[in-house]
Amino acid sequence: MSSNFYKKKLEELLFVCKRNIGSEKVNEDLISKAFRFALEAHKNDKRATGEPYFHHPYEVAMIMAKEIPIDDVSVASALLHDVLEDSEFTIKDVRAEFGDEIAEIVEGASQIEGIFENYEITVADSFKKLLLSMASDLRILLVKFADRLHNLRTIEQLPQQRQIRIAQDTLEIFAPFAHRFGLSNIKAEMEDLSFKCLNRNVYDDIANKLKERKRERDKFLKRFIEPIDEALKKENYKFEITSRVKHIYSIYRKMLRINKPIDEIYDLFAVRVILDTANKYDCFSAYGIISQIYIPVPERFKDYISLPKQNGYQSIHTTVVSKEGKLVEVQIRTREMHEFAEKGIAAHWKYKENIRISDKKLEEWMKWIRETIENAGKDDVSSSQIFESFKLNLYQDEIYCFTPKGELKILPYGATPLDFAFEIHTEIGMRCIGAKVNGKIVSLDTPLKSGSQVEIITSKNQTPKKDWEKIVVTQKAKADIRKYFNTEKRKIALKGKDIFEKKLKKKKIHINEDELIRIVQKYRYKDLLNFYYAIGIEESRADEMIGIILNKSKILTAEQTPGLIKETELSTIDLKHEKFIKEIRESIGSITIGDSSDPNTIQGIKYDFAKCCNPIPGDEVVGYITRTEGLRIHRRNCNNIINLYLMDPNRIIDVNWNISIHDTFSGGIVIIGEDRKGLVNEITELISKNFGVNIKSININTKGSLFEGTLILEVKDLKQLNSIIEKISHHKSIIRASRFG
């Protein structure tokens, strides 16, 4: 193409940059230099469409200038974003020509592209690496938004498999991020183009039906807008009224959500009233005027001006009933609010000169991203866990809840009182035993609703439970809970290490760490932490390993004195124990508690019940073959047995209950309630009167107006224990009753 053609293209780009970024803030020489550099780098390359490759970086830069007008550096970086991948220029060349700032953005954008081109890397891993690169300079991701959007606009030229991959990645990652940064236009176009690629038939069907109704819709909107226009002019407002049809992917998701065809969805469009005013309270006055013309639907009023969304979005949303009886959504906002709704982060970009305001919420979110990834590395959090948590924070609707003192907490839709507790403070979450929502006691897994006042009830004796991670939805709560259990594991491991080292010292055994690691890994332990943790749970593990180490030393003697000791004598203690386990498995298969006349043995094998979980008839149970104490019976879901199974599944054996067993068993119940005189007597009388069981012990702790107590009962089986728990739960003063252990 001629030089005049490219000269005109450069002039167009500079014009858009100066119009949207500001003439005084645009370095024309920088953009012109980047334009010529990219043109030279890609001069011999063609796209799949057959057009010159330079067309792509140019269009990416134009998207940056039009849709995300941050600064001239980001536009120059967009022009250069592919030079490292598709030309002979290196990062050193870019740095030498344009400096460190642009070089880092270009390099970051290239690395992200490499992530998504590698099909061996999962989406979750790609997402994690995307977060890491973004945390260094946000403009890296913004350039990738523009790059991805142009790729979607020209996606039909690519092979089908590659189209599907790009579209899926966009819906999973890029569109949610665009939503988080308030880039509504980019998000909507990304979603529609991706949906068109992945489900063309449904896309075309919705698009055709929208097109068929366009004339009818335009006439209706004209009739609807006219009285609003007249009323606002009468009050001397300067304003603009526009309307928009909801984008296709949004309509499709609503069709799925309410399970109705498009013909039965009436709010397919929204009317926007954009006021040219600096006074945000004018929006409420305009709402008052409109509600005099059309009847508003109270439950569909949303005030995002007083309580902005986490991405900074502000507007009043209301739904009114038209003269024809149709529901119409009306959005009312100032011009500045509208600019942010359309441009998102670009409207709040923080310049070094402090020309624009700082987006503090975004800065806090970026800090949270960095800390989350750093903590994830310390706490063995998988990429998929990070991915799911971030998707929740990026894309879900928000709810607004308040503490009793009126402090606002913004949480994702689906959050529970437990999430709310951790949002207040980690320690509050750790000690949470219950909650009151609008003065009413609720369980910890109750989904919260916007506008609720939430009071968290705590106890100094409370610690996190394993099932809490399933209850909470926020990344903070999940991370805090995981951190607690990882810390507890390390404490148990330190205790185990101390036990092991004392036993080694007593036996006068010396072994270096490398040799110990080699031995423990051979005997089914992942590493020393898990080995010491196993000892912390069951001390006999230390004796087993010492026996193995002692027999290892016998092998060494045999090697030094050939013929005296055979290699088959390796780990005599371990081999005897393996033989014992094998004999039990071959002769029994599974065992039944209650079959023997001796209450302390099962088919001749000594047994007892684990104190960590106190199994009772009706529980699913398994047996663990200890070295010196026979068989120990655990509940199948006991945390300790799960850990023991992971370390040595060969020592786990199936156990059943004899349904005719007549023994009684210890069952514990934890109760939390509102403390008042005579309550303990009421509870004990309730148990005795309805169930006739013996109460072995009661332990009660009070805190203010609340109490937490533990009851130990003699029960026949799980069914009876559950019946007692259910009966106690229905008492008017009890917040929660649950099984202990």
Q: Are residues 157 and 300 in the same domain?
A: no
pLDDT of residue 567: 32
Residue 483 to residue 371: CA distance in whole angstroms = 13
Task: Report the C-alpha gap between 289 and 275 in whole angstroms.
Answer: 13
pLDDT in tens, 721-736: 999 998 888 888 887 8
Quote the pLDDT of residue 107.
85
Sheet of 440-442: strand order equals 440-442, 432-437, 454-458
Catalytic residue among 28, 45, 85, 583, which? 85
Q: What CATH code is carried by the domain that includes residue 732?
A: 3.30.70.260
**The Cα angle at residue 532 between residues 542 and 383, in degrees rounded to 5:** 150
71 and 132 share a domain? yes
| Residues 162 and 281 reside in one and the same domain | no
Q: Is residue 303's pLDDT more than 80? A: yes
Nearest Cα neighbor of 9 from 30, 29, 36 is 36
Are 61 and 187 members of one domain? Answer: yes
Whether 86 is a known active-site residue: answer yes
Q: 226-247 as b/e, with b when 16 or more CB fall inside 10 Å?
A: eebeeebeeeebebebebeebb
CB 594 within 8 A of CB 656: no
- Residue 249's Cα: distance from chain center in Å? 23
**Which pLDDT belongs to residue 560?**
37
* Rounded mean pLDDT, 90-109: 89
218 is a catalytic site residue:
no
Q: What is the mean pLDDT of residues 270-288?
A: 93
Q: How far apart are CA 482 and CA 378, in angstroms?
A: 11
What does the DSSP 8-state code read for residue 446?
P
Answer yes or no: do 155 and 102 share one domain.
Answer: yes
What's the whole-number mean pLDDT along residues 445-455?
88
Domain containing 581: what range? 571-662
* Sign of the alpha-carbon dihedral angle for 670, 672, 678, 682: negative
Same domain, 72 and 128: yes
Which pLDDT value is given to residue 36? 93
Q: Which of 395, 415, 473 is nearest to 173 (CA)?
A: 395
pLDDT at 29: 94
Largest distance between two CA atoms of the chain: 111
Number of domains in the chain: 4
- Helical segments of 417-539, H only: 417-424, 426-430, 468-471, 475-506, 513-522, 528-537
Residue 614 included in any domain: yes
The listed range with the strongest mean pLDDT (155-159, 230-234, 268-272, 462-466) is 230-234
Do 642 and 727 belong together in one domain? no
Q: In terms of domains, do 584 and 701 share one?
A: no
Whether 42 and 183 share a structural domain: yes
8 Å CB contact between 32 and 10: yes
Q: Which of 215-229, 258-272, 715-729 has the lowest mean pLDDT?
A: 258-272
| Cα separation values, 588 from 312, 582, 584, 654, Å | 66, 10, 6, 10
pTM of the model: 0.58
Does residue 520 fall inside a structural domain? no
Looking at every residue in the chain, the average pLDDT score rounds to 80
